[in-house]
Amino acid sequence: MNRAPAEAAAAGVLAGAKRLVIKIGSALLVDETSGAIRRDWLDGLADDVAMLRRRGSDVLIVSSGAIAVGRRHLGLTGKAPKLEEKQAAAATGQIRLAHAWQETLARHDITVAQILLTPEDTEQRRRHLNARSTIAQLLRLGAVPVINENDTVATDEIRFGDNDRLAARVAQMISADTLVLLSDIDGLYTADPRRAEGARRIDEVREVTPEIEAMAGEAPPGYSSGGMVTKLAAAKIALGAGCRMAIALGKRPHPLAALDQGAACTWFLPSAAPQTARKRWIAGHLKPVGAIIVDAGAIAALTKGKSLLPAGIAGVERAFERGDLVVVKGPDGKEVARGLSAYSSTDVDRIKGHKSGEIAQILGYRGRDEVIHRDDLVVKG
């Protein structure tokens, strides 16, 4: 799409973002007393999202608010709801939340896709590959994914608990380059500015050190579970994934346009790009489960940066599941690469030596064309 000249001229801090995750907390989106969604504010934010997309960024939204909206409708207005009450509230609130997003973005002809995730879905194995490719597909098709925790099925022990962390996991999973946490404060301060006189905002952080963590203090009480502590936990995940992250003031109209135009905030800046960080993680942080043996033609293709197709596979070693890390070996048994397999060892064994077009016929379902996609593959240097 053509850039509007005025927007191109005004392109600012967020202009370089190819893939941008925006996290919006309940306190911004939902009026605490009435439990109603703040439509004017939301409409302003949707205008910002449309502007960023016109400028060429993929935009994903991590939106809280299901519990805050749903509580009112179920009459759960007591101070500290129990877990199952929160989950019940989320079940009814999520519908209204998704509807509000759909309505506001429809004003810009933008299609919304709802995605509810549990920690297991973003964990770096198996289901991670599914969620990653579904989200990538939605972005290719021009939709804006609106993501929340699948609160109704999460249990006490298996919960993100807060959407700051969920947003960072999503950013990591889809190799986003920018994460913006819209907050009720315009960044990280040396101490809580509401209590400590002389507290000063930090403009830039390159590493979350114990000194930085000490600045966060305690998580505040209330229905949103965030606070600075979880924002710093999110920053650690984002930096490790090569994604820059901002803590920016959300309590203003058009908060993203303001950030883009240089409004004060705290930026957390990574040392590596997302793709490099992902490859480092694949190469260094996972234990290989099995191996795939490939022929000389496949080795040549892999070293040229291509994906691993079934045609070049000669065999498998040990059992592995889809999403597991496997070592790719040449006919001489030497490691040539390692990567995340899109198929289990049983299925690789069945499709080895065949063309990708034959996969559906052999397995009875149409999986990926690649056994290891090049984004999930690290070739030994």
Residues that bind ligand GLU (CB under 6 A): 26, 64-68, 90, 148-149, 151, 162-163, 224-226
Q: Which tokens is 302 given?
A: 């892999």
Q: Please state, as a whole number, how many other Cβ atoms lie within 10 Å of the Cβ of residue 366.
A: 11
Question: Measured from the CB of residue 376, what is the shortest distance to ligand GLU in angstroms?
Answer: 29
Helix (H) or strand (E) holding 288: none
Instruction: Using the minimum distance from each CB to ligand GLU, give the nearer residue, 220 or 330.
Output: 220
Instruction: Using the minimum distance from each CB to ligand GLU, give the nearer residue, 76 or 136.
Output: 76
Q: What is the CA radius of gyration of the chain?
A: 22
Instruction: Using the minimum distance from each CB to ligand GLU, give the nearer residue, 23 or 278.
Output: 23
Contact 157, 223 (CB under 8 A): no
Give DSSP secondary structure letters for 108-147.
TT--EEEEEE-HHHHSSSTHHHHHHHHHHHHHHTT-EEEE
Q: How far is CA 120 from CA 127, 175, 253, in A?
A: 7, 18, 35
Question: Measured from the CB of residue 196, what is the shortest distance to ligand GLU in angstroms?
Answer: 25
Question: Measured from the CB of residue 116, what is the shortest distance to ligand GLU in angstroms?
Answer: 9
Instruction: Using the minimum distance from each CB to ligand GLU, give the nearer residue, 222 or 240.
Output: 222
29-112-28 Cα angle (round to 5): 10
Beta-carbon contacts of residue 300 (< 8 Å; ≥ 6 apart): none
Instruction: Using the minimum distance from each CB to ligand GLU, give the nearer residue, 70 or 323.
Output: 70
Instruction: Using the minimum distance from each CB to ligand GLU, give the nearer residue, 66 or 327.
Output: 66
Question: Measured from the CB of residue 59, what is the shortest distance to ligand GLU in angstroms?
Answer: 19
Name the DSSP letter for residue 57: -
Question: Measured from the CB of residue 193, what is the shortest distance to ligand GLU in angstroms?
Answer: 22
Question: Measured from the CB of residue 96, what is the shortest distance to ligand GLU in angstroms?
Answer: 11
The CA dihedral of 38, 253, 140, 10, to the nearest 10 degrees, is: 170
Question: Measured from the CB of residue 13, what is the shortest distance to ligand GLU in angstroms?
Answer: 25
Nearest to 120 by CA among 154, 148, 88: 154
Contact 30, 38 (CB under 8 A): yes
HSE-CB for 23 with a 13 A CA cutoff: 31
Q: Give dist(CA 80, CA 292) in Å, integer.
A: 52
Instruction: Using the minimum distance from each CB to ligand GLU, give the nearer residue, 57 or 172.
Output: 172
Instruction: Using the minimum distance from each CB to ligand GLU, give the nearer residue, 182 or 243.
Output: 182
Question: Measured from the CB of residue 113, what is the shortest distance to ligand GLU in angstroms?
Answer: 17
**Tokens 């790719």 found at:** 328
